[in-house]
């Protein structure tokens, strides 16, 4: 009973943070492991619960008109394709070489955002053209592959990439990024389910609290805007980098 209460609280907090700036897995996955859930089951169960919360957050951004479907119709298929290839590749390739590379990249994203006074604070999106669509497709395929293959920092990379390419503010980047993240989650969830790596008892209970956390987190982001999102985004980016450093060392 104590484990259930602990996991539900952790799931709520993780989804609240993740819906604003990404990085919720830093809270929920260690919570599953601390509760004694075996590593592969923890990853699969977390993916199950987190996918429900990312769907909830995506729908909230969609109904608030912070999602650009004229853009996403180009990006979603490549995100899904990338994620499938990433999941397949992870079975063949050792992940360990990615730790130092991803650690440096996430650290760069966090520090650059911290010291950039204007990044993501204003929505300077002026429309779609061949160049930014091509760059967006490359981003969505790459991050989809990365999320299926490895995962940590996916939300941070998506938000940073969408701001850099399309000049979105944090709210619009977060909305579009959350939809793409939901798409990449689906393929990984299917793979975990097919391989029997989900504890549905824990997963369903935690999912309920993650949905509630995602609702409140998205509402907070939409209400308070980029000034709330930016410090949480920087914090979670640096936290991912530190976590990877600890694991690598």
Query: Three-class SS string for the chain?
Result: CHHHHHHHHHHHHHHHHHHHHCCCHHHHHHHHHHCCCCHHHHHHHHHHHHHHHHHHHHHHHHHCCCCCHHHHHHHHHHHHHHHHHHHHHHCCCCHHHHHHHHHHHHHHHHHHHHHCCCCCCCCCCCCCCHHHHHHHHHHHHHHHHHHHHCCCCHHHHHHHHHHHHHCCCHHHHHHHHHHHHHHHHHHHHHHHHHCCCCCHHHHHHHHHHHHHHHHHHHHHHHHHCHHHHHHHHHHHHHHHHHHHHHHHC
Instruction: Please give the distance of CA 155 from its chain centroid, rounded to a whole number.
Output: 3
pLDDT score, position 117: 78
Residue segments in the chain with a per-residue pLDDT below the cut of 70: 91, 93-96, 98-99, 249
Give Rg (Cα) of the chain: 17
Q: Which pLDDT does position 98 carry in this prediction?
A: 67
Tell me if 34 sits within 8 A of 11, measured CB to CB. no
CA–CA dist 206, 80 (Å, integer): 25
- The fraction of the chain above a pLDDT of 90, given in percent, is 49
pLDDT at site 43: 84
């Amino acid at each position: 009973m104590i484990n259930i209460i602990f996991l539900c609280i952790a799931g709520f907090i993780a989804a609240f943070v993740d819906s604003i700036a990404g990085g919720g897995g830093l809270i929920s996955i260690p919570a599953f492991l601390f509760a004694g859930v075996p590593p592969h089951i923890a990853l699969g169960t977390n993916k199950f619960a987190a996918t429900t919360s990312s769907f909830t957050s995506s729908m909230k951004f969609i109904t608030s008109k912070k999602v650009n479907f004229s853009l996403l119709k180009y990006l979603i298929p490549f995100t899904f394709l990338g994620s499938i290839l990433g999941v397949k590749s992870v079975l063949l390739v050792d992940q360990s070489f990615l730790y130092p590379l991803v650690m440096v990249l996430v650290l760069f994203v966090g520090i650059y955002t911290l010291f950039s006074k204007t990044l993501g604070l204003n929505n300077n999106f002026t429309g779609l053209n061949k160049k930014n669509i091509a760059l967006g497709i490359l981003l969505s395929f790459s991050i989809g592959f990365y999320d299926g293959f490895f995962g940590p920092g996916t939300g941070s990379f998506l938000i940073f990439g969408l701001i850099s390419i399309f000049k979105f503010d944090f709210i619009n980047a977060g909305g579009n990024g959350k939809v793409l993240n939901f798409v990449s989650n689906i393929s990984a969830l299917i793979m975990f389910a097919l391989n029997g790596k989900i504890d549905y008892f824990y997963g369903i209970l935690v999912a309920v609290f993650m949905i509630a956390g995602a609702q409140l987190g998205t509402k907070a982001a939409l209400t308070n805007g980029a000034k709330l999102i930016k410090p949480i985004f920087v914090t979670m980016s640096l936290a991912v980098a530190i976590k990877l450093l600890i694991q690598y060392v």
